[in-house]
Chain A
Amino acid sequence: MLWELNADQEFFRDTTAKFLSERVPVEAIRRRRHETDAFDAEYWRRGADLGWTSLLVGEEAGGGSISGDPVVDLTLIAYEFGRAAAPGPLTSANVVAAALSGAGSHPEVVADLLSGATVAGWAHAEPRGGIGAVGLEIRADGAELVLDGVKRPVEAAGQAGWFLVSGRTGDGLTQVLVPADAPGVSVAALQTVDLTGRFGTVTFDGVRVPRDAVVGEIGGAAAQLEYQLQLALVIQAAETVGAMQRGFDMTVEWAADRYSFGRPLASYQAIKHRFADLKSWLEASHAIADSAAAAVSARAAGAGELVSVAKAYIGEYGLELLQDCVQLHGGIGLTFEHDLHLFLRRATVDRALHGTPAQHRARIAQFVIDREGSAA
């Protein structure tokens, strides 16, 4: 993460780090693995008090950032989430709050999201879909809109009070806010490798909502969805880097303490060189995560490409790094007892969510070709 934080940002990050280490230490995460919910309501409300949910929302709507650079501030929290393998729908909460407040709709829901009283699901991805592929149908019927389709995976679907659903209306994309208890909405829990992750498939079967459920314009949500994807990817990148950093630190310590043939593992050149590679991947991941965050924060023209680059790199090398950490631990690295897997689990889910590295490489190639083509 960033080397040049101001004192307020440092304090902000520190507060979350302390809270997470007290509230969800590794034992608590292990214990939680068979529970239906990944976190309790009180945990999330306290986190909201620390500022986890309000950064992307303007002050007039009850939000506010520490540094005036809200996206960057949010990545500090995400980084700590990764370092702690902490539970909680950080991405959904922030993406949905930003979307609603950005469109100026549903202020009462925004207030509930900010206070942590409610959790919302970002219902965007679809089964077997590419990045941003949307098939769910939204059609107008008199004063109402009717939704038909399936969203999957939706984070914290079982605990969500609301879903922000993206759908296709004729040629355009539309987003609507749907209460989780609306008739026709059903949630089926999914399995996942992350002990603190809870995802569901959400089916919308002739779900009817009033027209004022629309967030933004009917048929005009493409740019807003791209921005949401960018936010999700930036949060994810920071979180994965946090998990990488923790796994790497644990492994460095281990290599210095563990002796083999009368000398520390860390003294063998074959091992030292592996660590040097890991360190270069780690620093490169920090660098690209920060640069993607800065670009999204500034709404820079290249932000879309940068978030994909961050995903393509961190998704690939972050997981190589953590798997190498397992390798360098030897047998103990594959046990449930050891903590390392908690970070590997988080990063594994992050690698697959919001587009795989390969899908993002294809997106990057398109950016390159479009650019070089237009220059020619």
Chain B
Amino acid sequence: MSVDVSDVAAVAEDVESFRTRAREWIRGNLGPFRPETAMGLRSVPAEEELAAVAYDRQLQRKVYDAGFAGIAIPREYGGQGLTAAHQRAFNEELAGYECATRFQIPTMCPCAAVLLDFGTEEQKIRHIPAMLRGEEIWMQFLSEPSGGSDVAGALTSAVRDGDEWVLNGSKVWTTGAWWSDWALCLARTNWDVPKHRGLSVFILPIKQSGVDVHQIEMLNGAKDFCQEFLTDVRVPDTDRVGAVDDGWTVVTRWMFHERTLFNSPYVTYPQGQVHTVADASPADIARDAGVLDDPRARDLIGEARTLDVVGDALMQRIAGGMRAGRISDQSAAIGRLYRGIAGTRTATIKFDIAGPDAAAWSDDDGGISQAGNGFLMRQTACIGGGTTEMARNVISERVLGFPREQLPDRNVPFREVPRGGSR
């Protein structure tokens, strides 16, 4: 079912010569990484965001034309047919260089990854090369206003009508839906069976009548978070992914890919590049705040670096362990938990190093400027992509084998499951 991205697969080019070739091309063709234009949750005017999206499309095309897009994606789907190790080498060489961030997450992982696992041949051939060429940005229509952790509790419905399905409902917290092209969408196709057995997965274009995208303002002023209202959206049955009512099988894998994110063999992202709101490094902030020689600041710089380096080692260990079959895929939750905790801690560290100036700043303050907003948005790292509490449930129940939580909705037709006041 899953595509083989084993490091030992017989491929034409060995990793080191690929690395050399990649390095030369990157140095000769790409500009520096610019955190302020990377996909993120920054508060920027709409035109600026749209310009960044357009630039990412060109940049992705450039990478594709050079033969470096989809390094571990099979050639028949427009990729390079190499291995996870090649992708990793590319990401290492890409450190410090620009990257089409909007085509990585969630487009390549989890969306392309799910299509590779479950899509029909036709779906793969139609969409994966288009993603790699910079033509299709994908989003996940997974979370709903009634609750994101309980993924199988989706209320968005899909009703069959001949060769088509008619979708109604609402999805929410979709970063970037207002400038994206396609969505991978979870919907309920059967209300008379227990919740996990009545779901199906579809793909659909976002820019169409019946899909109403609303931008939601976040607490730092960013407006990339979206809610979508689906009203009688018609989806051909050929755009269904996986079997009818068996969407949970797809979702399980979908969430696995979501937990691997930056460590996915499908994602091109500069190694070591921070993925947080305040992008200046702790040492930059310390320099700008004039505390580079303060022992307390040094302790924090050392701590942030420690969390970073350990995180990288951990992701490699988990990915290697899963590839070698030494640990179950559920172990991806360990990486997710670590990333969340380390991310929030790092945001706090930056805020602390910035000191009193983080309370009130001007644009001339360099690294200090975003430390306050970075702190405000700190919990993003522990919520987005599934919460750290859910990761802890997975680790304790699926990795350590501890007893499952009581689930009153387990063997009940979904129609009869109790719902909270706001549902």
Q: Is the pairing of A and B real?
A: yes
Interface residues of A (CB under 8 A from B): 3-4, 252, 255-256, 263-264, 266-267, 269, 272-273, 275-277, 279-280, 283-284, 286-288, 290-291, 305-306, 308-309, 312-313, 358, 360-369, 372
Indicate if the CB atoms of A4 and B392 lie closer than 8 Å: no
Indicate if the CB atoms of B298 and A362 lie closer than 8 Å: yes
- The count of chain B contact residues (Cβ–Cβ below 8 Å) is 46
- When A275-B402, A369-B292 are in contact, do A309 and B396 touch as well, CB less than 8 Å? no
User: In the bound complex, what is the Cα–Cα distance between A4 and B325 (angstroms)?
Assistant: 11
- When A287-B317, A312-B303 are in contact, do A276 and B337 touch as well, CB less than 8 Å? yes
Indicate if the CB atoms of A309 and B310 lie closer than 8 Å: yes
Indicate if the CB atoms of A284 and B292 lie closer than 8 Å: no
- When A272-B392, A275-B396, A287-B313 are in contact, do A360 and B338 touch as well, CB less than 8 Å? no
> B301: CB under 8 A from chain A?
yes
Indicate if the CB atoms of A266 and B306 lie closer than 8 Å: no
Give residues of chain B (39-78) contacting chain A, Cβ–Cβ below 8 Å.
none
Task: Chain B residues near A286: list those with CB within 8 A.
Answer: 317
Indicate if the CB atoms of A279 and B302 lie closer than 8 Å: no
Indicate if the CB atoms of A279 and B402 lie closer than 8 Å: no
Other-chain residue from B313, B314, B320 in contact with A3 (beta carbon distance below 8 A): B320
- When A3-B321, A273-B396 are in contact, do A361 and B402 touch as well, CB less than 8 Å? no
Give residues of chain B (265-293) contacting chain A, Cβ–Cβ below 8 Å.
281, 283-284, 292
A303 CB to nearest chain B CB (Å): 12
Interface centre among B311, B338, B396, B399 (most CB of A within 10 A): B396
Task: Chain A residues near B393: list those with CB within 8 A.
Answer: 269, 272-273, 276
A50 CB to nearest chain B CB (Å): 26
Indicate if the CB atoms of A276 and B396 lie closer than 8 Å: yes
Given A280-B314, A288-B313, A361-B298, list of 12 further CB < 8 A pairs?
A3-B321, A273-B396, A275-B400, A276-B400, A280-B395, A283-B331, A284-B338, A313-B306, A313-B307, A364-B306, A368-B301, A372-B284
Indicate if the CB atoms of B310 and A3 lie closer than 8 Å: no
Indicate if the CB atoms of B402 and A3 lie closer than 8 Å: no
Other-chain residue from B302, B392, B403 in contact with A273 (beta carbon distance below 8 A): B392
Indicate if the CB atoms of B302 and A276 lie closer than 8 Å: no
User: In the bound complex, what is the Cα–Cα distance between A273 and B337 (angstroms)?
Assistant: 11
Other-chain residue from A3, A312, A368 in contact with B326 (beta carbon distance below 8 A): A3
Task: Chain A residues near B396: list those with CB within 8 A.
Answer: 266, 272-273, 275-276, 279
> B142: CB under 8 A from chain A?
no
> B408: CB under 8 A from chain A?
no
B367 CB to nearest chain A CB (Å): 12
Interface centre among B284, B316, B317, B393 (most CB of A within 10 A): B317
Indicate if the CB atoms of A358 and B391 lie closer than 8 Å: no
- When A267-B402, A276-B337, A279-B395 are in contact, do A362 and B320 touch as well, CB less than 8 Å? no
- When A267-B403, A272-B396 are in contact, do A280 and B305 touch as well, CB less than 8 Å? no
Interface centre among B298, B326, B393, B399 (most CB of A within 10 A): B298
User: In the bound complex, what is the Cα–Cα distance between A372 and B306 (angstroms)?
Assistant: 16
Task: Chain A residues near B299: list those with CB within 8 A.
Answer: 358, 361-362, 365
Task: Chain A residues near B321: list those with CB within 8 A.
Answer: 3
Indicate if the CB atoms of B281 and A372 lie closer than 8 Å: yes
Task: Chain B residues near A362: list those with CB within 8 A.
Answer: 295, 298-299, 302
A294 CB to nearest chain B CB (Å): 10
Indicate if the CB atoms of A273 and B301 lie closer than 8 Å: no
User: In the bound complex, what is the Cα–Cα distance between A147 and B211 (angstroms)?
Assistant: 82
> B243: CB under 8 A from chain A?
no
Task: Chain A residues near B389: list those with CB within 8 A.
Answer: 273
Task: Chain B residues near A306: list those with CB within 8 A.
Answer: 309
The 6 closest A-B pairs by CB, nearest first: A361-B302, A272-B396, A276-B392, A276-B395, A287-B317, A287-B313
Indicate if the CB atoms of B337 and A277 lie closer than 8 Å: yes
Indicate if the CB atoms of A272 and B317 lie closer than 8 Å: no
Task: Chain B residues near A360: list those with CB within 8 A.
Answer: 302
Give residues of chain B (296-353) contacting chain A, Cβ–Cβ below 8 Å.
297-299, 301-303, 305-307, 309-311, 313-314, 316-318, 320-321, 324, 326-327, 331, 333-334, 337-338, 341
Indicate if the CB atoms of B283 and A369 lie closer than 8 Å: yes
Task: Chain A residues near B324: list those with CB within 8 A.
Answer: 3-4
User: In the bound complex, what is the Cα–Cα distance between A161 and B338 (angstroms)?
Assistant: 46
Output the nearest chain A residue to B391 by Cβ-Cβ distance. A276
Can you offer 10 A-B residue contacts whose CB atoms are under 8 A? A266-B402, A272-B393, A273-B392, A276-B392, A284-B338, A287-B310, A312-B303, A361-B299, A364-B306, A368-B301
